[in-house]
Amino acid sequence: MMVHPTLLGRVLLQPSRSISSLRSTKPSISAVRVFQSQYNTNSKSQNHCENEKRGKWFTLPPYTPTINGSVLGKALSAKIPAKVASETTALKWVLRCCPELPRNLVQKLFRLRQVRRESSVMESCNLGDQGQEHRLTRVAAKDSMDVGDRIFLPISVKLLPASKQDCHCSEEEINFIRGLELFKDTAIIVINKPPGMPVQGGIGIKRSLDELSASCLSSDYSDPPRLVHRLDRDCSGILVMGRTQTSATVLHAIFREKTLAASNDDVGNKRRILQRKYWALVIGSPRHLKGLISVPLGKVVVDNGKSDRITVVENSRNLSSQHAVTQYRVIESSHGFTWLELSPLTGRKHQLRVHCAEVLKTPIVGDYKYAWQAHRNWKQFPWSNIEDNSNEKSLSENTLPFSLDLDSGSISEKHPRLHLHCKQMVLPDVSTALQDVQLSSEYDFSQLPSLKFNAPLPSYMKKSWDILRS
């Protein structure tokens, strides 16, 4: 189909594959990709006449109540009933249906009165072809949508075959990233992040997980997976991403509410909707087998402003700080080392590393930022030379993508790597929650099931475990 030369000039749009399902909040909506946008405002009257003819419209799906992800996340955290649906204007609905269509172009369509609405009230009327045109009325950008309403855009929003985001990864790299998946449903993706791979891009970072997940883990979704929390570059373990904008907003709210609750001294024994458990190998042993750390943390600038670090704030009046709470439990101790289970109740930067180094006085093995003094006189743990040589040989023969090395770095080596791993996480079933709130605008989440994930230790931490138990 050729675009009429007087309609929207060169605006060429494409639909993406549908990403709707019974367990997704995102409706069956065609995303559009703009290749060129140039609107001919001088042909307004001719456009109006042409578009009033039947078959001259690009139809969006019927309006369904929009989920307020932030409200839903709070309701899940508190496990209370909540009304999570919110009203939406015609402009917002078009932008939601067509996320890649420039906002200024959509606003121009509304200003030029090129957008129509078919009210759901008229759906039951059995009108002929002539009657359909009479049901279409002009709609303003700020008009509220009723359930079932349909929006009609000019057909000059031409439909083209979908094109996926360019992937610059080799087949080996794609398979490696996909092999990190621990779980996937319509709302979330859970991966076992390898140590040494940054989560986000930045200065000096060529490849990051957010970029790679967009290329390798999007599947048939129009949007790339979205980060909802962070792991340090040298840390490994469970990382959760939202597959849609709504699910990501819900997860953001869950993580945020967990931190707010703990910061307000709500650290009772009630079952928490979000639970995280890290394993860490530390130097020395805490005075108590288990306990609760609750101290403020703040950022200080060091090296003449070249870098910064997090530290415990003794006097919060003199330095801006954030409250940080961590539960800990000793798993076992051996040969001057201790395996700890750490459960952060807040999500502060470097929280676990600082709590171990400065509060428990048991720094994490391989943490050279907060425990460089403890590593100055590091003596590698004795280990079989035969096994070490065979291990080095296997490393040379099996090089991983992205120059990653998951084997070297145990306590038997001169420079051990950071021994901190997010081993377990419990999350509410966000996909089921989104499905349920579509069926009922006010839903009680007290009986919502949880999802439990476990991530195996990286090879070098597993080797340290074996060494200390031998």
- Active-site positions read 232
Q: How far is it, in rounded angstroms, from Cα 108 to Cα 106?
A: 5
Question: How do strand 275-283 and strand 337-344 relate by DSSP bridges?
Answer: antiparallel
What's the number of CA atoms in the CB half-sphere (13 Å) around residue 345? 24
H/E stretch holding 212 = helix 209-216
Q: How far is it, in rounded angstroms, from Cα 279 to Cα 344?
A: 11
> How many Cβ atoms are within 10 Å of 220's Cβ, its own excluded?
10
- Alpha-helical (H) ranges within 86-170 are 90-97, 103-111, 129-135
Burial class (CB within 10 angstroms; exposed 0-12, middle 13-18, buried 19+) of 55: exposed
Q: How far is it, in rounded angstroms, from Cα 58 to Cα 158?
A: 8
Per 3-state DSSP, the chain is made up of helix, strand and coil in percentages (nearest 5) of 30, 25, 50
Backbone angles phi, psi at 191, to 5 degrees: -125, 160
C-alpha distance from residue 52 to each of 43, 44, 47, 56, 133 (Å): 14, 12, 8, 7, 7
258, 218 contact by CB (below 8 A): no
Which residues on neighbouring strands pair with residue 227, listed in sequence order? Answer: 241
User: 139-143 long-range contacts, Cβ below 8 Å, gap at least 24?
Assistant: 139/90, 139/110, 139/115, 140/90, 140/110, 141/89, 141/90, 141/91, 141/107, 141/110, 141/111, 142/89, 142/90, 142/91, 143/89, 143/90, 143/117
